[in-house]
Structure 1
Amino acid sequence: MAENSGTGGTGEDAFLAIDWGTTNRRVYRIEGGKVVATERDDRGVKVLAPTDYAAIIAADRRRFGDLPVLIAGMAGSTIGWCDVPYAAAPAGLPDLVANIRRMEGRIAIVPGVSIRGEGASGARADVMRGEEVQLLGAAVSGMVLPDSLLCQPGTHCKWAMMRGGKIASFTTAITGELFALLRGGSVLSAFLGSEVTPDAAFVRGVHEGARRDVAASLFSVRAASVLGDLPEADAASFCSGILLGSDVSVRLEESPGETVFILSDPALGGLYRAAIEALGGSAVLIDSHEAFVAGITAIRKLWV
């Protein structure tokens, strides 16, 4: 169902933005940099064929208005509508606009950002699609400093170093996916049914994960549970803490003294903030939806 469904005026700056993910997507009608209507559904790219997109967007226009459409995220991937080449880091808003793929009917897809691996030098190859809009939106809107460390929790957590308002470098950690796999089909599954909260068990897990002996630390969840040393209600929080503690400790070591700006909803972002603070860092929570709207609006202004 559409939220705030009044579509307002029909100014020349109005457009539709779609944040198209793997499992779901969100459509925004934006006017004057403000969201006047929005809708979320489960039509992510994993359930679509390339021939499905045009009809879905036509239906979006019937609901939200016959407007230009700017798409970010996995619709521009090899499993989406079409493969849009990445912009190479360091990348700012003009670099994204220069690599936009124009489709039919006033539709365009924003490229992601990539880093090429350099083998023995230690640099890893990495990619993002969709997160770049949030990162650059947070910078252009002043939500974060032009030079700052940003974290985007999720299935695949992104850690990005911003320099001069550009995405200078970034690292992806599959922290969320690992927890889902452990919870769904591992020797630990029977112990991980409870809710994850930033409680004392979670903080213990963070410190355990910071030892970076992750494989052994994770098995200790089972051992401690079997021996009765870890209450069933604490196991999921402890396990999540291990994964976040390993991830966070590396990033804090790489960027000592940096305040981490977390682009997330309060629940997941709160876990990362708790992990960062438990390991002596500082963190600020930023609304990821506001960052996306700021970024896609800035791209739209440069695109036209």
Structure 2
Amino acid sequence: MRTHPGIKVNVPFIAVDWGTTNRRAYLIEDGHIAQTERDDMGVLAVKPGEFPGHVARLRARLGNHPIVMAGMVGSNRGWLDAGYVGCPSTLEALAAKVVRPERDVAIVPGVCVDAQGRADVMRGEEVQLLGAVAAGLAPPDALLCQPGTHNKWAVMKAGAILDFATAMTGEMFALLKAHALIGSEMTGDVDAGASFREGVEASGQDDLLSALFGVRAAAVLGRRASGEAAAYVSGLLIGSDCRARIDRPGQQVHLLADGLLASLYTVAIELVGGQAVVVDSHAAFVAGITHIRNLMP
């Protein structure tokens, strides 16, 4: 069991990070993770009207406790649209705007940017971003990155989400592999090795669209070995993503990731001149949603 700094909880509750394709639930007791489970019952796997039954089954396994949820469960594709809180956004603002689809069940709203000429949204990531700062895992003024299908870059100021941007990095990789001309070349595993690093370096030397077509040309001319293109394309995309956000040498990026994504983004951030600090994203989520639970009216 883990205890999270700055958290005081007297009443056990169940925290749920309910995304599009996956769901993770935590039983929280006195600031500790007493039990956790993960499955593939994301909101797309739940039919309309079935959410109460899924919640009842979670309680049967984890205990008959209040539940606080975040993520796509609060979207227009989820149980109930919880709306958005504008930037700058804080844990207090999120707690004040939770919605309750039934007794002892609360859904945390998302966060949005709605400015002239630019709009952006997130659901679930806001709990991790704010939780990382609240738990002391990241400083109150920081650049945070949460890699994924839709990668989030958040500027934190005085502990609040001041601004953020979403990059379709992971989705673009999947689309290229499945549908693009270069998809047939994108074989082999993606890792943080030489081909990935070559892609990151190339992302600063040419425009992205031209560099992507170069994957096809390299294959036709025998310039790149079979099985290396997927890692190279990943390097191109992630390198471009990082270059768009890191604007000074040595800039520190707190990275909410683990496993392969943590390795890939750490390498890319450092190759483009930044400094990566890996943060436990699960610990950040639990810290954030526990603070929200304590602040809820």
User: Do the two structures share a fold, i.e. TM-score over 0.5?
Assistant: yes
Give % identity: 49
- Is the counterpart of residue 181 in structure 1 residue 175 in structure 2? yes
Q: How many Å apart are 1:197 and its aligned residue?
A: 0.9
Q: How many Å apart are 1:15 and its aligned residue?
A: 0.3
Q: How many Å apart are 1:270 and its aligned residue?
A: 1.0
Structure 1 residue matching 2:89: 3-state secondary structure = coil
Letter in 1 for 2:194: A
- Is the counterpart of residue 261 in structure 1 residue 259 in structure 2? no
Letter in 1 for 2:185: F
CA 1:232–1:117 in structure 2 vs 1: closer, same or farther (change >3 Å)?
farther
Q: How many Å apart are 1:41 and its aligned residue?
A: 1.0
- Is the counterpart of residue 285 in structure 1 residue 278 in structure 2? yes
Cα distance in 2 for partners of 1:165, 1:239 equals 35
TM-score normalised by length of structure 1: 0.92
**Does structure 2 retain, via aligned residues, the 8 Å contact 1:209–1:242?**
yes
The correspondence of residues 21-170 of structure 1 with structure 2, limited to 5 A, is 21-119=19-117, 124-170=118-164
Aligned residues, how many? 291
**Does structure 2 retain, via aligned residues, the 8 Å contact 1:117–1:126?**
no
1 or 2 for the larger relative contact order (CA 8 Å, sep ≥6)?
A: 2
Q: How many Å apart are 1:49 and its aligned residue?
A: 2.5
Cα distance in 2 for partners of 1:262, 1:12 equals 30
Cα distance in 2 for partners of 1:80, 1:14 equals 25
Q: Which moves more between the two structures, 157-166 or 188-197?
A: 188-197
Equivalent residue number for residue 8 of structure 1:
none
Structure 1 residue matching 2:77: 3-state secondary structure = coil
Equivalent residue number for residue 6 of structure 2:
none
2:203 to 209, 212, 215: 209
Letter in 1 for 2:289: I
Q: How many Å apart are 1:260 and its aligned residue?
A: 0.2
Runs (5+) with no aligned partner, structure 2: 3-8
Letter in 1 for 2:167: A
The C-alpha deviation readout for 1:10-44, integer Å capped at 9, x for no partner, is x9421001100001111111111211111111111
Cα distance in 2 for partners of 1:290, 1:222 equals 42
Runs (5+) with no aligned partner, structure 1: 5-10
Cα distance in 1 for partners of 2:187, 2:49 equals 39
Tell me the C-alpha RMSD between the 2 structures. Answer: 1.6
**Does structure 1 retain, via aligned residues, the 8 Å contact 2:187–2:228?**
no
Equivalent residue number for residue 5 of structure 2:
none
The C-alpha deviation readout for 1:219-277, integer Å capped at 9, x for no partner, is 11111012110111221111100001111101012x66430000011311110110011
